[in-house]
Structures are given as structure tokens and as C-alpha cells.
Chains A and B, each alone.
Chain A
Amino acid sequence: MDTDDDFMSNVSSEDDILPDDSENDMSGDEDFGFDDEPDAHIDSQKDDGYKKKAAYDISFKVYQPSDVQKQQDELINEVNMILDISKEEAAILLRHFRWNKERLIEDYMDKPSQVLDAAGLATTSAGPPRMQVVPGFVCDICCEDEPGLQTFALKCGHRYCVDCYRHYLSQKIRGEGEAARIQCPSEGCNVIIDARSLDILVTPELTARYHELLHRTYVEDKETLKWCPAPDCENAIECAVKKKDLDKVVPTVSCLCGHRFCFGCILNDHQPAPCELVKKWLKKCADDSETANWISANTKECPKCNSTIEKNGGCNHMTCRKCKHEFCWMCMGLWSEHGTSWYNCNRFEEKSGTEARDAQAKSRVSLERYLHYYNRYANHEQSARLDKDIYHKTEKKMVQLQKESGMSWIEVQYLNSASQALQTCRQTLMWTYAFAFYLARNNLTEIFEDNQKDLEMAVEALSEMFEKPIAELADSKLKVEIMDKTSYCNKRRVILLDDTAQNLAEGRWTFNTELLGSGANGGPSTRR
């Protein structure tokens, strides 16, 4: 348990949230494969027999909007009781302390007036804020001095007409999306507007927006909370993995809405590649997009007869319609060599150094190396898409078939599972190539490449079965084969991820680049 203690928080794990699909292998849930874990551990952990979660597995918890609200309310109530201050003030203090309750209480006990001051809660109280008409008043913002003008002031006593106050608040809330830290309109005054004062001043509509923004700041203020990036999803995820841990772990989380993403960088699941590699890889691909553009083409020429071959499924086992030549779409090599122990399609053969003496040769080798990995990365991305297309087409035909033959829906769920497995495994494979691109050779790389090869072979085999004509798919023999292959693919993926994650956690990989961002990233440092 030693290596990922750091990443285990007291929040419950994925297993608590996601339906346990161990009794139903055909579940459509994307997180299939957890039933395979014990086997994976026997393979990858020889030293002892304890059961632990896979090394790549991360503890996290999903919160729905009401949970997020409840958490805030609980903290506010607690501080309200312990420190004997109003709920509005407790909320402002908590936001000021970025919801670190312990530090707030400690600091407040130590020096209350300084804390109140710094949080914008002036200590001189003149009763609860209310609207008021003040004789002889001149508004310092609009310079209006009409008698009977309604005015408002926070505790600091800086008084302005209500119209100006409203305009100011709506500019902050609507215009700037600010909520938690709106200050008194007076120059140099840091008193913060509280929710109750806001309720007095503005329309319910604006108040609703204000509370929505406050609600968001709670999540945005906490390093352990992040919004699910899926469009229209309002859930938040809690995870204890910190920025500084990102060279040791790839924290993939999965939301109740089904979206799987990286807690570190919010991008789609990119295991096994660490966040920093992903960032560098994506930048490199964008920079070199022209060089690599031809790769994503849907057509290539048959290496034997040169007739044009179109790829319309995910499977990389190509058969030329004309000359029946069988070859690999990825490396254009003979397919017959791919099913054997000689399979070498995933590995980039470093040529001996003698060949690359001059700079030009070196840069050619480095381009070849990049293209090798990019080719495979882009290909799995494309194949995942094509697999999905095939699945949707098949699904349609299946529905048709069900109507005609009276087969029940459950009986074809195995195709859904197979499709999910292909998607997830190809996503993993994709990132293994970005991972490998930055990997410096050591005694572990061969094991990694073997795992990669095994997963890739399993995926291609499943992908091929998947493209069979509908009549064959309905056959029970193929159905069993597909189910077996699906479960095997998932198993291979777990093995690969577990191995890479363990070695990452223990710092046993060597990369030819830094794994932690310099911190200055994103700063305005470019200049000419």
C-alpha cells in the first residue's frame, strides 16, 4: 500500500459509486474490467497476496449540485456556531480562507480583528444593513442630491444611492462574473458585500446568478474539487491528488454522467501518459500537424499492387480487394507476421548511432521516430472512431434483426460491451504511444512494449471480429468468442495500466523530458 498512500484520501473510491458489474459482465458501463482486477494483480504483483486496488486506480468521489450546496452550508453552520458570528460573515470568512475551516478558526482565535479586517468584514457594526433616506445626502458616484434619495451603506459606512449600488453590483455579477469578493464601491475600501445585503438591493434574478457564482467559487477555490468538464454536467469531483503529485500518478476519474477525465488536467482520460507528457505531446502534434497530416488520411495504396485501399473500420488488418494481399495499415508490413511472437509493429527500432552522424541525418532519424509514434497514436484515435461507427451501424442492424427473429435486447448487449472495450482500449493504446515517445530506454521499456503489443494484438483481433457481417455476429459461436476477447482486452489493459502506474509511482521510468511543469507555464514570458 506504500506507494499510493499519498493519493488515497478518506473519500470513498470509484467502486462505491459505480455500480458493481462483477455479476454482469455484459453491463454497458464503461468501467468494465474491475471484475478482472484480482487476476491482474496475480500477474503483476508477485511479492505478496494482499488485495489492493490497481495501481492506476485513484480514490475520488462525485458530488451532485445539492451535495456541493450541503457541504458549503455545513461548513458555514459550523463556523457560525464555533465563532459565534453571523452566517453571512462565516460565509465571507470561509471564502476568504478558501474554505480551509481549520486555518480560519485557528487564525480567528488568535487575532480576530485582523482576520475580520483582512476578509473585508469591518468590525464597527452599526446594526444590520438597510436602505435609508439621509437628509442632505449627495451620492459620490452619480453626484445626485435629490431629497428623498434611497441610499445604502455596508458596515464601513460608505454610503451611495441605491441606483448606483444596483448598477455597481450588476456590473460586477453580470459583467465580470464576480461574486465572492465584491468590495464596497468606495476607493480603497475592502469591505465585502454579503449575501444578505445583496438580497436587499438587487432583483431575484441577479441574486440567483450571484448564488450560482458563489456556488462555483466553492469548487473553484478548493484544490481537491473540480467540475466535471462534460457539457451540461453539473457534478463536481473530489480527489486528493495534488499538482505536485502529477509526476507520480495519472489521476483518471469518472463522473456519474459517464465522462472519464483526468483530474490533473481536465482532459479526457489519457492513462498511462502523465499530464505533462500529454501537454507536450499535444503541443508537438499541433506544431507538426502539417508533417503528419498525410497520416490521418483514410486511404493508402496497397504495398503490392498499388491500388487504392480505403479504411472504413477500426481494424488494421487490411486485405487488398484486388490482389488479396494482406498487410498492416499501420506499418504496411505483412499481416502474417503480426500474429506471431515476431510482432514488432509497435516498437521503434533505434538505428545504430553510426548512421546518424551529421545533423541532417540526426534530424531525419528524430522525425522518423516521431512519425512512428504519431502514426500509431493517430491511428488508434481514428480507429476508435471507426470502431464506433461500425458499432452504431451494427446496432441498427441488430435492432432490425431482433424485431425479425425475436431475440431479446439483452442477448446483443455483448456487442455494446465489445464496442466500449474497443473505445477504452484504443484510448489507452493511443496514449501509450505518446508515453513511449518520451520514454528513455531502460530495462523496463521492453516489458512495457510487450504489454503494449499484447493489448494491441488483442484489440485488433476484437476489432476484426467486430466487423463481421451481421449474420455471423448473431451466431452464438462468434458471440462467445467476442465475449471472451472483450474480457481479454480489458484484462490486458488493466495489466498495462497497472504496470505503468506502479513504475511511475516508484519513479522507475526515465523520460527524456521533465514531468512537472515549470510553474511559469502560461505566464506572459514570450518576448522578442
Chain B
Amino acid sequence: MASQNKRIAKELAECTNSPPPGISISLPNDSDLHTWHVVLEGPENTVYAGGRFGLVVSLPTDYPFRAPTVTFATRIYHPNVTNDSLGNICLGPLKPENWKPSTRLAGVLEAVRALLIEPQPDDPLEARIADEYRADRKEFEKNARTYVQRYAKGPVKFDSAVSATAGGGAGSGDDKKGAGAATTGSGSGNNP
């Protein structure tokens, strides 16, 4: 659909010409406008500062009528991101019942960044991390920083989501409707 690509091309141009703060975008494959690679800088004054996080944005064939999926390619310790190689995110605007075709990807990416600045423990994908965030902030911050040191330093790799073996978090997880919206479906595992 030519007109559909017109919209995506326009968004891509806008995002590359004047990218949202702390965000840079590239196409892994120039002939495929439907997969974007995004590098997100850990925002200053947060536990994620100094880290660089890879995000994979996949646009469905009938984008923008259906929501894109956004996943972390870099492991991150966060209440709203599954603590596994899938890196599913629970993001309000991406839920099917909230998604509007006029919503822009730039806005979505800014929402992801805002989530790093202010996690939403009341709507968690990782209940344990959310509990820790609320009850023992020091411990949470320590763990989050350890993850940054271990996973979010150096060149960003986008293939980890594909190559890493799926973790063993069998059958658990908060299967909120539409949460995460990973390409692999909703059954995200909560690895301990």
C-alpha cells in the first residue's frame, strides 16, 4: 500500500531529522520500513543513566490502524519491562483499546523514555520488581544499576532478542490484555 508507506516514510523522516531527546533511529534493512532499530540513552539522573538501550519497533502491515510493537533488545531491570530476552513493555498507548491511528511513533518512543524516568509499579509486567521498587528503593536501584553495567554498556546489539534462548519463566507473568504486545504473543515469562 503506497499511502501507508507514505505515512511511515514521513514519520521516519521526522524522527531522523529532528529526533526526540535521547533517541536515535535507524533502519536495519533499507527496503523494509516496518522494522526500526532505536537506541535509547538512559535518561540523566535516573538509575539507567550511562546505559544505551536497544529497542526494536515493528510496524504491523496495517499500521497505523493497529498499534506497533516495541520491545527492549537490551536487558533492563524495570517493573514495566519483562525481565527476559523478550523485553516486552507494558505501555498504555500501545494497548489495542487505547491505540489511535493518529498516534505518532515519536510520541510512543518518548513514552518509553518517560517510563525509564518514572516507572509505573501499579501496572507492572514484573510484579516482583514492582514490589521491590515500592518497598525497597535502594535494592531496586542497586539491581537496576547492575543490569546497566552488565547489559547496557558498549555497542548496542539488536539481535539478542532473536538469538538468546527464551528463559524458563513457565506460565507465570501478568497476562494483562494487550500488555507487552510482543510479536511472540502475550505469554511472557517472569524469570526470577
Measuring CB to CB, which residues of chain A are less than 8 angstroms from any residue of chain B?
140-144, 158, 160, 163-164, 167-168, 171, 175-176, 178, 183, 185-189, 524, 526-528
Contact = CB atoms under 8 A, between A and B. Distances in A.
Interface in B88-104: 93, 96-97, 100-103
Contact of A187 (B4, B96, B100): B100
Interface in B59-118: 62, 64-66, 93, 96-97, 100-103, 107
28 contacts: A140-B102, A141-B101, A141-B102, A142-B4, A142-B6, A142-B7, A143-B3, A143-B6, A144-B3, A144-B6, A160-B102, A164-B101, A167-B62, A167-B65, A171-B62, A175-B66, A176-B97, A178-B97, A183-B100, A185-B100, A185-B101, A186-B102, A187-B102, A187-B103, A187-B107, A188-B100, A524-B174, A524-B176
Contacts of A524: 173-176
Given A524-B173, A524-B175, A528-B169, 18 more contacts: A141-B7, A141-B64, A142-B3, A160-B102, A168-B101, A171-B62, A171-B65, A176-B97, A178-B97, A187-B102, A187-B103, A187-B107, A189-B100, A524-B174, A524-B176, A526-B171, A527-B172, A527-B173
B187 to A, nearest CB: 12
B66 A171 contact: yes
A522 B10 CA distance: 43
Q: B interface, how many residues as a size bin?
A: 20 to 34
Interface in B1-44: 3-4, 6-7, 10
Contacts of B101: 141, 164, 168, 185
A528 B4 contact: no
B189 to A, nearest CB: 10
A477 B66 CA distance: 72
A84 to B, nearest CB: 32
Interface string B152-175: 000000000000000001011111
Contacts of A164: 101
A160 B100 CA distance: 12
Q: Specify which of A158, A175, A187 lies most central, judged by the most chain B CB atoms within 10 Å of its CB.
A: A187
> For the complex, would chain B's binding face be called helix, strand, loop or mixed by DSSP majority?
loop
Contacts of A528: 169, 172, 190, 192
Contacts of A140: 102
B138 interface: no
A176 B102 contact: no
A185 B103 CA distance: 9
> For the complex, would chain A's binding face be called helix, strand, loop or mixed by DSSP majority?
loop
Interface of B: 3-4, 6-7, 10, 62, 64-66, 93, 96-97, 100-103, 107, 127-128, 169, 171-176, 190, 192
Nearest to A526: B172
Q: Specify which of B62, B101, B107, B176 lies most central, judged by the most chain A CB atoms within 10 Å of its CB.
A: B101
Contacts of B10: 143
B111 to A, nearest CB: 11
Given A171-B66, A524-B175, A527-B127, A185 B190 contact: no
Contacts of A160: 102
B128 A527 contact: yes
Nearest to B6: A143
Contacts of B62: 167, 171
A11 to B, nearest CB: 34
B31 to A, nearest CB: 20
Nearest to A145: B6
Closest 3 CB pairs of A and B: A524-B174, A142-B3, A187-B100
A298 to B, nearest CB: 35
A527 B10 CA distance: 43
Contacts of A143: 3, 6-7, 10
A527 B100 CA distance: 32
Q: Specify which of B3, B93, B103 lies most central, judged by the most chain A CB atoms within 10 Å of its CB.
A: B3
A306 B111 CA distance: 73
Nearest to A170: B65
A162 to B, nearest CB: 13
A142 B6 CA distance: 7
B79 to A, nearest CB: 13
A175 B174 CA distance: 24
B102 A527 contact: no
B5 to A, nearest CB: 10
Contacts of B128: 527
A185 B99 CA distance: 9
A164 B64 CA distance: 10
A331 B9 CA distance: 76
Nearest to A161: B3
